[in-house]
Structure 1
Amino acid sequence: MRKLFLFAICTLFTHMAMSQTNLITGIAARKTTSLNGAWQYIVDPYGTGFYDYRYQERKENDREAYWNTDEPVNKTERKEHKFTDKYILQVPGDWNSQAEKFLYYEGIVWYKKSFDFTRTSAANKVYLYFGAVNYEADVYLNGKKLGKHKGGFTPFNFEVPDSVLKATGNYLVVKVDNTRHKDEVPTVNTDWWNYGGITRDVQLIEVPQAFIQDYSLHIKKGASLKTSKNIPVEGWVQLNGGQSSKEVIVEVPELKIKKAFPVTGDKVAIQFNLPAVQLWSPQTPRLYTVVISTNTDRIEDKIGFRTIEVVGKQILLNGNPLFMRGICIHEEIPRQIRRAYNKQDALQLLGLAKELSCNMVRLAHYPHNENMARTADSLGILVWSEIPVYWTIDFNSTEVFEKARTQLAEMITRDHNRASIIIWSVGNETPVKPVRTNFMRNLISAARSLDSSRLVSAALEVNYQPGVNKIDDPLGEYVDIVSFNEYLGWYAGLPDRCRTAKWEFAYNKPFFISETGAETLYGFHGDSLTRWSEEYQEWFYREQVAMLKRMPDNFAGLSPWILCDFRSPRRNNQTFQEGWNNKGLIDQQGRKKKAFAVLKAYYDEKSSTPNP
């Protein structure tokens, strides 16, 4: 049975690795119309708007379906659904933070937006683009279903047929369902808040009939960086709409680069040399404007050029040894108890990481909004980006594998031109067993097939044994960096256990501590032995830092858990948690705990070394 599953997984992976996502990238560079703002809503816990009383999916023209108009044709027609301005949700945004009744709500909410629309050119195609909807979205425009998407943290788009879109009185309805299921990614069991809703931007995108769908540019793998001149760059441009153009032109105006490449198919290979370039790094987060054009379309972007690789026991950024002074971040603004989604939120969270003297963040445990990676580009912060393959998803299911692979593809497609992202992660704390290892190994292969210019990892667990802590997860054979979550002093003994800790590594690779931390309630004080006190967390970090200074030379950094306290229904100590995971170095009100200074002092010391 297991062999049959592995064969199915490999067959599915081989097929899917050859396909292309239909996601349009570089949205900021395109002609867009925002559909953000106030949306009317209906709460529908029984799915009445989707199913009839026999629990069969309603027909498209069923006038009782909530995706169809709520206006009766005459006074005799019975209508049992109605969207009104009495019930409004702001988009983007989660519903949990917008009304008390939604705090713990998991289920279906119907969103409706009315709008008028005039194309800038009658010949243009129009796409409807969602930054993210958590978790399942069914999208209808003027009673016609445009499509369905699963995955709460990745973007998707649908082409809008000309016959459906009107100049006035468009009726856009989205069925949003954040119900947790065993066969979804993530599964039913997580340690974060299940914020529901249309949590990121919604836009109409206009493109010509033949347009540039996506592109990728990066320094050629293995290129010599002994000088800053004649550095080879490679990549591709993905075209959509046929070969109406004879050539694709790539420009880097500041470097006086303008190159033309012949179009021989939908995907055009790009190769050229940079005559001189300032490499992107945390110290010099240099971004260059790149212009890509055909005879019908033109897009602009700002990207950085850098290399990331593993050589022996070291991670090298631009050929130089890298030590990652990291911190984990959830996509949440604690003081407002809501999903983060805009540039101001990104500046706030990444600004706090900079204040901690970080040069790296781990965006846990799912792809964050696009503003995070773009802001990290501009601030010079390295990024670990992850899909929510978390704890106990169904590793026996080929359908679950495809859901995970799709989210991986959508994450990589959206962000593969962000210089800040150096690590794609395929999961967190998954149980060691053969079927899981093969599942994760195939995700690693999928990540590399989609983007070979970055490192791939996963957050593993420590095999705590008497007298020794072993890092021997078999998945370590396949990752570029052996990353693991360790909680000596919180889940394993007291912090002084770090003093006698012995480590054994099964792999001769760089290793990275992807989590460590202890929980405390801000303002609760006691001696260092008192759990939940600030003094206990402070002691925990002091012992951790002392242990880290004794680590072997392949220790590549850490990202402690976590920057800010965050909501979690799993945390039910009504004195010290009350639905919060309080392992943050910063509390729910933005106040720094005592341990913040301990970690910052260690990072300040590390930042004074020659490593980036």
Structure 2
Amino acid sequence: MSFKRFLSTASLVCTALFASANGFAIDYVQNALARENISLNGQWNRIIDPYENGYYNHRYQPHTTEGYFKNAKMKTPSDLIEYNFATAEKIRVPGDWNTQEEQLFLYEGTVWYQKDFALTKQADKRYIVHFGAVNYQAMVYINGVKVGSHEGGFTSFQFDITDYVKRGENSIVVKADNRRERNQIPTVNTDWWNYGGITRSVAILELPATYVEDYTVQLSGSDATAIVAKVALAGSNVKQGGSVKVSIPELNIQEVITLNKKGEGQITAKANPQLWTPEAPKLYDVTIAFNGELIRDRIGFRTIAVDGEDILLNGKSVFLRGISIHEESPLHDGRAWNEDDARTLLRWAKELGCNFVRLAHYPHNETMVKMADEMGLLVWSEIPVYWTVMFEDKAVYAKAEKQLTEMITHDKNRASIILWSMANETPSHKARLTFITKLAKKARSLDDTRLITAAMDTQGNTANGKIIDDPLVAAMDVIGVNSYCGWYGGTPESCGNILWESKYNKPVIVSEFGAGALQGLHGDKDERWTEEYQASVYEHNIAMLEKMTALRGVTPWILKDFRSPRRPLPDIQDFWNRKGLLSEQGIRKKAWYLLNAYYSKKEESSN
């Protein structure tokens, strides 16, 4: 019997009132930067603090009155204050510190950020500070008072600062700490750069006293001619109820949602939307009106399903022609974060022939997934449960679940996302199986409208090749396979003869294969690091792919070269992972053209 589930655009869960089993309350203003806001992007003051003297005293106890977070000023000539944000060096936000200052290139530790801002505070407003991301731990202070902390370098977070801001001049201080620790997600050992700092946008949201905190707009799971809209309020007078107006003018939807005493409500409206596809990425203007606030979004509607070894997009089998992407800018050093970065990276993917991207190995910025919606690229979105996290530790699991919940909460209304990925290249053992299976169950409880996957490098060997036999596959809808034949094992020529078997009747995505090459280095196809060697690996791996009967997608590693401290080889790597099909400057290598030709044939055969 085939396994078939039709899934639609976004979660049915209103997360504003959700509290996970591990105690992390989820309070998140959906589509934050579409609200009235004051941008805090730009120049901030910064103090490097490797010993954390700005947080701990000489007894290694947290300061209560003298920490850097107080942003103290000398009042008399005899005052002893050993820091001064006003005369400190400047740093750009958003932006990592590693690529802004040479002395911080390899720095891991604490940097304090400070910025003054003016606010015309109104008594009938609430003020929420929004951070797109801070890597890895953030403590946030307003006018010397701690308002909250957040752990995790790749998801956005917010704090209500209404009671801490004042009319006129205010100060915000952020303690950002990117030190790697064994009990973090990700753990100490990764193959990407540990960019520190406030890496995405910062803004102060100015909201009504009671406001729409969360909303979900999606196709009905049981009826593709109906759209379900759910909303949840937050703020001062949630219990008073009221109504919210939801409009999708192009579909002639003008609906009023009557709210209960919890501030929640939903409606179902009949509609016949044009379904979103990579070829025609139709988005509808959606507005949500309440209490004087008008929230605007652009949302697409589509279904995604598995049927045996097939992936069905809007009920039709689809082959996912993809590429993996790290969140590194194609236009400047360091983290990608803005629209130009996203548009360039995704344009390169489309020029390669892709209809699909794997955003590895962590949730990417909001602009990236919104641009994927607009440009017509399906998305695999992942949390950084990467390699050897501490699977036996309940606290580590809680951190992973928190990041998973944040990822789904933030991006649930994006039509492009079809896969939530639980992990990458984790070792097969009982504790890991329990850990990731529990994550998959959690993901489904938050969002039963998308497919669940993980990238696995734990395949067994057979006389003729490989067998997919990892027990973790039982918890997945789609099997992700990482295989580096020709680079970490075997010769390129040996790859084409490998035959794959699977114990599971499920679709397979080869989520990684590839080889390193220094762009512009040429030689024999058997010579490592040459473009010819990389091209040979692609040629023979593509021959292998053609023999995989369950194959329904590919995301080779990777679109462009990216920084990694694991890659020190002088004059070749120089702290760059060279597996990109493009150099760090965006110059195409020989393997680019081989993959492009393969994708052109796959696209022609599907038409």
Name the TM tier (shorter chain): over 0.9
**In structure 2, what is the equivalent of residue 237 of structure 1?**
231
**In structure 2, what is the equivalent of residue 190 of structure 1?**
190
**In structure 1, what is the equivalent of residue 56 of structure 2?**
51
**In structure 1, what is the equivalent of residue 282 of structure 2?**
286
CA distance in 1, matches of 2:242, 2:223: 30
Residues 1:147 and 2:153 are matched in the alignment: no
CA distances 1:342-375 after superposition (whole Å, capped 9, x unpaired)? 0110001101101101000000000111000000
Task: State how 1:561-576 maps to structure 2 within 5 Å.
Answer: 561-576=557-572
For 1:129, the aligned partner's letter is H
Q: Verify the 8 A CA contact 1:133 1:197 in the aligned structure 2.
A: yes
Equivalent pairs, count: 587
Q: Verify the 8 A CA contact 2:499 2:544 in the aligned structure 1.
A: no
Of residues 524, 530, 538, the one that matches 1:527 is 524
Task: State how 1:356-375 maps to structure 2 within 5 Å.
Answer: 356-375=352-371
Of residues 97, 107, 110, the one that matches 1:108 is 110
Q: Verify the 8 A CA contact 2:226 2:271 in the aligned structure 1.
A: no
Q: Verify the 8 A CA contact 2:212 2:231 in the aligned structure 1.
A: yes
Unaligned runs of 5+ in 2: 1-17
CA distance in 2, matches of 1:267, 1:184: 35
Change (3 A) 1:506 1:355: same
**In structure 2, what is the equivalent of residue 402 of structure 1?**
398
Q: Verify the 8 A CA contact 1:36 1:91 in the aligned structure 2.
A: yes
Q: Verify the 8 A CA contact 2:427 2:458 in the aligned structure 1.
A: no
CA distance in 1, matches of 2:503, 2:165: 59
Offset at residue 464 of structure 1 (A): 4.6
Partner SS state of residue 134, structure 2: coil
Q: Verify the 8 A CA contact 1:462 1:470 in the aligned structure 2.
A: no
CA distance in 2, matches of 1:14, 1:333: 35
Moved more, 310-319 or 263-272: 263-272
Of residues 445, 458, 480, the one that matches 2:477 is 480
Partner SS state of residue 84, structure 1: helix
Offset at residue 18 of structure 1 (A): 9.2
Offset at residue 521 of structure 1 (A): 0.7
**In structure 1, what is the equivalent of residue 296 of structure 2?**
300
For 1:476, the aligned partner's letter is V
Change (3 A) 1:69 1:462: closer
Q: Verify the 8 A CA contact 2:510 2:554 in the aligned structure 1.
A: yes
**In structure 2, what is the equivalent of residue 255 of structure 1?**
251
CA distance in 1, matches of 2:272, 2:87: 57
For 1:237, the aligned partner's letter is V
Q: Verify the 8 A CA contact 2:241 2:261 in the aligned structure 1.
A: no
**In structure 2, what is the equivalent of residue 539 of structure 1?**
536
Partner SS state of residue 520, structure 1: coil
Q: Verify the 8 A CA contact 2:424 2:456 in the aligned structure 1.
A: yes
CA distances 1:120-157 after superposition (whole Å, capped 9, x unpaired)? x4300001110000000000011100010000010010
CA distance in 1, matches of 2:318, 2:191: 30
For 1:493, the aligned partner's letter is G
Partner SS state of residue 138, structure 1: strand
**In structure 2, what is the equivalent of residue 177 of structure 1?**
177
Offset at residue 296 of structure 1 (A): 4.9
Offset at residue 472 of structure 1 (A): 1.1
Task: State how 1:175-574 maps to structure 2 within 5 Å.
Answer: 175-223=175-223, 231-241=225-235, 242-266=238-262, 268-333=264-329, 336-465=332-461, 467=463, 468-552=465-549, 554-574=550-570
**In structure 1, what is the equivalent of residue 5 of structure 2?**
none
**In structure 1, what is the equivalent of residue 33 of structure 2?**
28
Partner SS state of residue 598, structure 2: helix
Offset at residue 69 of structure 1 (A): 2.5
For 1:126, the aligned partner's letter is Y
Pairwise CA RMSD: 1.7
Offset at residue 511 of structure 1 (A): 0.8
For 1:21, the aligned partner's letter is I
Q: Verify the 8 A CA contact 1:182 1:188 in the aligned structure 2.
A: yes
CA distances 1:63-117 after superposition (whole Å, capped 9, x unpaired)? x310112311211111111113550000000001101001000000000001111
Partner SS state of residue 326, structure 1: strand
**In structure 2, what is the equivalent of residue 6 of structure 1?**
none
**In structure 2, what is the equivalent of residue 7 of structure 1?**
none
Residues 1:156 and 2:148 are matched in the alignment: no
Q: Verify the 8 A CA contact 1:337 1:567 in the aligned structure 2.
A: no
CA distance in 1, matches of 2:268, 2:90: 52
CA distance in 1, matches of 2:489, 2:136: 34
Partner SS state of residue 292, structure 1: strand
Q: Verify the 8 A CA contact 1:327 1:560 in the aligned structure 2.
A: yes
Partner SS state of residue 609, structure 1: helix
Change (3 A) 1:20 1:216: farther
Offset at residue 334 of structure 1 (A): 5.1
**In structure 2, what is the equivalent of residue 118 of structure 1?**
120
For 1:538, the aligned partner's letter is A
**In structure 1, what is the equivalent of residue 12 of structure 2?**
none
For 2:421, the aligned partner's letter is S
CA distance in 2, matches of 1:93, 1:514: 29
Partner SS state of residue 559, structure 2: coil
Unaligned runs of 5+ in 1: 1-12, 225-230
Offset at residue 292 of structure 1 (A): 1.7
Offset at residue 462 of structure 1 (A): 3.9
Residues 1:66 and 2:71 are matched in the alignment: no
Partner SS state of residue 281, structure 2: coil
Partner SS state of residue 338, structure 1: coil
CA distance in 1, matches of 2:80, 2:191: 44
CA distance in 2, matches of 1:271, 1:445: 27
Offset at residue 209 of structure 1 (A): 1.5
Identity level (%): 47
CA distance in 1, matches of 2:487, 2:506: 27
CA distances 1:260-292 after superposition (whole Å, capped 9, x unpaired)? 222124363434244321111101101001112
Moved more, 214-223 or 502-511: 214-223
CA distances 1:536-592 after superposition (whole Å, capped 9, x unpaired)? 11111111112212221x211100000000000001222321111000000122110
For 1:394, the aligned partner's letter is M
**In structure 1, what is the equivalent of residue 14 of structure 2?**
none
